[in-house]
Structures are given as structure tokens and as C-alpha cells.
Amino acid sequence: MTTSIKDVALLAGVSVATVSRALGNGPVSPTLRAKVEAAVVQCGYRPNLSARRLRSQHTRTVGLIVSDICNPFFTAVGRAVEDVAYRAGMRVILCNTDENPDKEAMYLRLMQEERVSGVIFAATRATADALDTAELGFPVVMIDRAGAAARCDAVLLDNRLAAAQLVEHLLERGYRRIGGLFGNTSSTGAERHAGFAEALQRAGLPVAARFVAPSAAAAQAELAAWLREAAPPEALVASNGLLLLGAAKAVRAAGVAVPQRLALAGFDNDSWTELAEPGMTVIEQPVEEIGRVAMEMLLERLRQPERPPRKVVLAGRLVARGSSLARA
Amino acid sequence: MTTSIKDVALLAGVSVATVSRALGNGPVSPTLRAKVEAAVVQCGYRPNLSARRLRSQHTRTVGLIVSDICNPFFTAVGRAVEDVAYRAGMRVILCNTDENPDKEAMYLRLMQEERVSGVIFAATRATADALDTAELGFPVVMIDRAGAAARCDAVLLDNRLAAAQLVEHLLERGYRRIGGLFGNTSSTGAERHAGFAEALQRAGLPVAARFVAPSAAAAQAELAAWLREAAPPEALVASNGLLLLGAAKAVRAAGVAVPQRLALAGFDNDSWTELAEPGMTVIEQPVEEIGRVAMEMLLERLRQPERPPRKVVLAGRLVARGSSLARA
DNA sequence: ATGGCATGAGAAAACGTTTTCAATCGATAG
DNA sequence: CTATCGATTGAAAACGTTTTCTCATGCCAT
């Protein structure tokens, strides 16, 4: 039997209401407050958060739903979310969906049962478009991927611009036959593809883009096949860290010289991109900021439920490395 | 106002007890069960987990306390823990301690307030030694680091053996002046140092070990300084993935040839170790298995609270790569 | 003096479940 | 034909809090 507020009240010689008020910030005379505090330490009382949540009707809990926390991008974002959350006295429930809409639906239902205060969500395209935030019962902040119709807060990268920047960087360095590898489940992949295609069209060049499942293995297989085709690209853009990793593995396995036979560029300044020869050219996303801002927006929304939804668009930073050296 | 079990009962024309039983696995006639299920979908009822936890007195929640989920080792372990947990109908609360004993204490207190079913814990040395699992009120499974006195379950790597393996591998390849970089906060660092030292002593060689804070930055700074000293090592063992990363950055910054001027070997088969030239020799830990087994042991312990504590010791796998090529 | 009025405290209701306890009913055994 | 038993069901208690709702007290203004 664990000790409850009743035991504390008995020990301190006051009512349970007084104990509750002393522990919270209710009006209690200094005398009784001291008595209560003494009783609390004496019997090692720990409040029961389930009871507190049930009665007070707010759980101080947020859900963080991402595809896979093992993706360094989400790892870093998640860490930032948690830091801000815990500092604000909130708990975080982490959910990995593996880009699977069924799992997304399941976890959203779970969030309802948990009566979470809100959710930070990197949704699949299908789910993002269909999301009805009104009937969900809690506010949602989208990250990384935008919802089409979803009238909710979001913090995003300027994906079109970033992808276009990569293409222009490669053009500047003298590359012409530029291929692209994009994830096929998220709106992010689509947006980056759009920026990629626009930049190439502006330059009057053909657009060679392929869509794959968002995993390193899929990217590796796709690029390996591509390199065996008749006219492989001179440079490749990969639309996220996982795909870039797969691409790097494929070129290494095929013994293709980077950047002499194939230049590489992509997204996410993961730690390996600096170490892998000759260094990967990437768009670095402000991962810590994305997580922090998302959580702050959620807290803000909880304070002002009726505030109009806001989208924060952050800029990526081009980190040029050896994988896109100027063409000889 | 969200709909409660009462509304469902009213709609179905039965008592709340019957609804509860129909939703759980109580004895209910097929007729009423069907009525209840119809009512549930009709009014979109979602059980309130806080209320359920309060009444039933088990939270179906486990805490996962690690130093930093951004460390790929813990990311992978955490993912495995969560998969097993969700499949068993349990929730996971993730806590990052940054190797800070104060944060560890704070999170343990939080776990008590959450009335968690149990905790999976990668503890600092100080905390692990002082851990009194009896007065905590929930079972603990230690991972990665052992508790000295702690009479609780644990799943660990055979650290001494693994470290010795690395040393012997380097000896075989012809290296003699072998240095080591170890984390100074965990028992794991200490154990790996022990294995490292024993292997060198068996070979009649001097032991050159340095202890640093468990971060890439600390390792990088320490090695950079070391390389400027009079007699720098010919080969270096780094006691975890972060330290190895720092070491790799240091040698790259100093323009030191690997393995010609300095061979490198370490722990954790993180994705960058394969890509970074000339490939890092590492001990691969069975990360997925560590997380899975830890969660399974916790579930087992919840079923049989009085079972004697069990320690599972897993073996690492040596992955030899270019960074420890045979000496010319 | 007297009528508010702010302040501090306790009693009791409420939060949404699960679980215990008692009751009803049909059927089966004696 | 009746007593007993098993299976369902509902009423009500319980889980540990927070939040009314009262009430007593002392103080200030009239």
C-alpha cells in the first residue's frame, strides 16, 4: 500500500484539502504549510499522477508521433521536444509509425485515450491530408511535413528553396545530368522534388527523378540499378539523410569515384556526412530549432486555443563538401 | 465534454458495469456485448486511461532512462524497447539524463509519481551503486551499465572480453604502443578499461589509458592534445561510439593518416563507421537484442515478482575494417 | 456596534473507471 | 417439486486527487 494524501493529512492533523492546497499553490497559512511539508517528507509521500490527471482534467502530456526515432533527424528533433516539454512540466509519449498509416491511426486513437494535451506529428501524406483536427479533441503541430487542408500549426523547412539551392550549387560546379532520389510517402519528398524540378527546368535541363520508399536500403538498391543503366547521372540529389546514406553505400559498393564519376548532395547534416570521404554536401536542417519551436508553439496553442493557426518556415543551410567538388 | 462510459451505458440500455465488462474480458452475454459495441461506435467513446489506471492500480507504463537518446546506441535500444512494449500493451516514458545524477534522481522520483510498472535504466556509476530497488517501489532492469550492489535484473555486454578482443586484434596486426580513451561516468567505461589493461599486461605492454567525459567533443579535444605530445600512440581504442567519433574527427583535423600513423578501433557499429575512410574497426553491440531482452525481462519480472534477479551477458562482434589494417 | 468582506480551513462532491457484492433467473440435481 | 448452483447483471464502493461549497474568524468601514 502506497501512502496517499490522506495519510499525510492524518499525520499533519489537517484536512486532505489543505494538503492538496499546500502542495499546489492554494492559499494556506505558513504554519499549516510547514506542518504539511514535514508530514510529506516523514511518510515519503509521492503524489499519484493518474489521480491528479483524472481529477484535474489536464494530463500535461504530449504525444510525439514520428516515422522512426532511429532517423537522426527525428532523434534530434525529439530530444529538443522533450527538453522543452520536461522544462514546462509536461510528459512526452513517443510513437514510431514506420510511415504506416494504420499505425498512425492507431497511435492517434491512443492519444485520445491518453487525453493528451496535444500532439506533435510528422505525418504520412495520406494521413496529413485527411487529418480532421477538430474531431481529434486536441491540438496538433505538424513538423517536417505539411498537411494540405489541415488547419493547424506547423513548423517546416523551406523544402522547395532548399532543393533548388542544391541543384543550383551542382549547376555552378559544372554538373549537368543531375538525378534525384525522393521519398514517396511524405509531402516533404514531393516538395523537394518540386524545387528540384523547377531549378532544372529554369536551366533548361531534363528532370530525372525517382521515388523510393524512405529507407537507406531502398535508396541503395535503386541507385545501384540506376548506375547500371545506359546513361547514369553525373550528380545525384538525395531528398533526406536516409536516402543519402543509401546512395553513399551504393556508390561505395559499386566502386564509383565521388565526385569524379558521380557527385552527391542531399539533406541532413548527420554525423557520418562529415566523416565519409570526400565529405558529403548537404542542406543542414535546424533540427534543434524545429523541435523547440514545435513544442513552444504547442504550449502557446494550449494557452490560446482560438489563436489562428501559424506556419513557421525555417531555412536550411548549405554545407558544401568534397562530394560536389567543381567538375574537372 | 467528452463521452464517458456512462453515456455508453445509457445509450445501450445497460449498466456501466456491463459496459466495463464488455470492453474488458468480463462475462457478458453476446446480446448485450453487441449492444454495447454498437453504442460505443455510435457515440465515439474512448476509454479514459487515467481513470482506468487509477482504479485498476496498474499503469501499464514503463520508464526508459538513458543518458541521451541522440547516442545511436540508445536510439536503437530505445526503439527495440518501445516495439516490444507497445506490442505488450505498455506505454514508454523516455527520459534523458545527460549522465547527470541529479537528473537521474529527479526522473526516478517522477517514475514513482507515475506509478510506473517498471523502469529500464542505463545509470551513472554513482546512481547504479546507490540504487535501492526495494524502496523504489518498482522493478528495475539495468542496461549497458551494471549496478554494483543492485540486486536487480540486467542485460549487459561482456565488456572486458570485448575490449580485450580489440586489443588482441591490434596486437595481431602488429601495433604495440596502444592507447585507450574511456568514459569516466559509467561502469561500462571502467569495465572496458579493465579488459583493455588486462590484455596489454598479458602481452607485457604498458597501459596508456585516459578517461574523459562521455562526449565526442571531449574525446576530440583529448586526442588532439595527446597527438601533440612526445610519444603518441600507434593505435587507439575508444570505449564507445561517441568517443570514437570524436577521435575520428581529431585525426581528420590533425591530418593524421589512418592507420599508417594511428590505427583506430572502438565500440558501436554506427552507420558512419562503415562510410568514414578507411572504415572503422569496431565491436558491434547487439543493440536491438539488448533492448528487446531488457523489455522482455521486465515483463517477466512483472509476472513473477519474486523470481531471483538475472543478469544476461551478451557478446559483441568484432567488425574489422581498414582503420586497423596490418602494420607495414 | 454592526454589516460586509477577505481569508483560511474542512466536508463533501466529482473525475471515469474497475471491482466487489448482492440479486435475479433458468436449469439441473435430488 | 424444491433446493442449489452457475451464469449474468446492476448497484454501489473504491481508486487518490482537485475543486467546489460552506463556514468560521477577524478586520475594516460605516
Residue B32 cell numbers, joined: 448485450
If you measure CA to CA, which chain B residue comes closest to A72? B70
In this complex, the residue of A54, A83, A245 whose CB is nearest that of residue B271 is A245
In this complex, the residue of B54, B86, B271 whose CB is nearest that of residue A54 is B54
Q: Which residues of chain B have pLDDT under 70?
A: 1, 148-150
Domain boundaries, chain B: 5-47, 58-157+287-316, 159-285+318-324
Distance, CA of B292 to chain centre? 10
Residue A31 cell numbers, joined: 504554519
Separation CA A248–CA A242 (nearest Å): 10
Q: Where do runs of H (alpha helix) occur along A88-215?
A: 101-114, 125-130, 133-136, 159-172, 187-202
The nt closest to B9 (CA vs C1′) is: D10
- CA distance to partner chain B, nearest, from residue A79 (Å): 7
Residue A27's pLDDT band, with cuts at 50, 70 and 90, is confident
Distance, CA of A23 to chain centre? 36
Average pLDDT of the residues of chain A: 94
At B122, which amino acid appears?
A
In this complex, the residue of A46, A53, A79 whose CB is nearest that of residue B69 is A79
If you measure CA to CA, which chain B residue comes closest to A114? B49
The CATH number of the domain covering residues in A58-157+287-315 = 3.40.50.2300
Distance B303 CA to D2 C1' (A): 46
CA distances A42 to A236, A294, B138, Å, are: 66, 41, 20
Q: Could you tell me the fold of the domain covering B159-285+318-324?
A: Rossmann fold (3.40.50)
Chains A, B: CB contacts within 8 A come to: 111
Domains A58-157+287-315 and A159-286+318-324 share a fold: yes
Sequence-ordered list of residues with C-beta below 8 angstroms from that of B293, at least 6 positions apart, any chain: B155, B312, B314
Cβ pair B50:A48 closer than 8 A: no
- CA distance to partner chain A, nearest, from residue B48 (Å): 5
pLDDT digits (tens, 9 = 90+) for A68-96: 999 999 999 999 999 999 999 999 999 99
Residue B48 cell numbers, joined: 479514459
Cβ pair A272:B270 closer than 8 A: yes
Query: Residue B223: what pLDDT?
Result: 97
Query: Residue A52: helix, strand or coil by DSSP?
Result: helix
Q: Which residues 39-98 of chain B have a CB under 7 Å from nucleic chain D?
A: 51, 54-55, 57
Distance B285 CA to C22 C1' (A): 59
Q: Where do runs of H (alpha helix) occur along B137-235?
A: 159-172, 187-202, 216-227
| Residue whose grid cell is 537522426 | A72
Architecture of domain B58-157+287-316: 3-Layer(aba) Sandwich (3.40)
- Strand residues in B16-170 grouped as ranges (E): 61-66, 91-96, 118-121, 140-143, 153-157
> Exposed (0-12), middle (13-18) or buried (19+): which is A41, by Cβ within 10 Å?
exposed
Query: Residue A150: what pLDDT?
Result: 61
Query: Residue B1: what pLDDT?
Result: 66
Statement: residue A130 has pLDDT above 90:
no
Query: Residue B257: helix, strand or coil by DSSP?
Result: coil
Please state whether strand C lies within 7 Å of residue B17 at its CB atom: yes
The nt closest to B15 (CA vs C1′) is: D10
Bases of chain D within 7 A of a CB of the protein = 7-12, 14-20
Residues of A with CB under 8 A from a CB of B: 2, 46-51, 53-54, 59, 68-70, 72, 75-76, 78-79, 82-83, 86, 91-96, 109, 112-115, 137, 216, 245, 248-249, 252, 270-272, 274-277
Distance B38 CA to C15 C1' (A): 25
| Residue whose grid cell is 600513423 | B261
Query: Residue B153: what pLDDT?
Result: 93
At A26, give phi and psi (nearest 5°): -75, 170
Least confident of A21-35, A230-244, B113-127, B239-253: A21-35
CA distances B75 to A65, A95, A178, A281, B64, Å, are: 15, 13, 34, 25, 11
Please state whether strand C lies within 7 Å of residue A105 at its CB atom: no
Q: Which residues 34-63 of chain B have a CB under 7 Å from nucleic chain C?
A: 45-48, 51-52, 54-56
Please state whether strand D lies within 7 Å of residue A5 at its CB atom: yes
Residue A313 cell numbers, joined: 518556415
Would you list the DSSP string of A271-312? Answer: HHHHHBTT--EEEEP-HHHHHHHHHHHHHHHHH-TTSPP-EE
Separation CA B65–CA A121 (nearest Å): 23
Query: Residue A125: helix, strand or coil by DSSP?
Result: helix
**Which CATH number fits the domain A5-47, given the four candidates 1.20.120.50, 3.20.20.70, 1.10.260.40, 2.40.128.20?**
1.10.260.40
Q: With contacts defined as CB-CB under 8 Å, which chain A residues touch B96? A: 79, 82-83
| Residue whose grid cell is 492559499 | A27
Residue A158's pLDDT band, with cuts at 50, 70 and 90, is very high
Separation CA A134–CA A206 (nearest Å): 43
Mean pLDDT computed over A292-301: 97
> Exposed (0-12), middle (13-18) or buried (19+): which is B322, by Cβ within 10 Å?
middle
Q: Could you tell me the fold of the domain covering A159-286+318-324?
A: Rossmann fold (3.40.50)
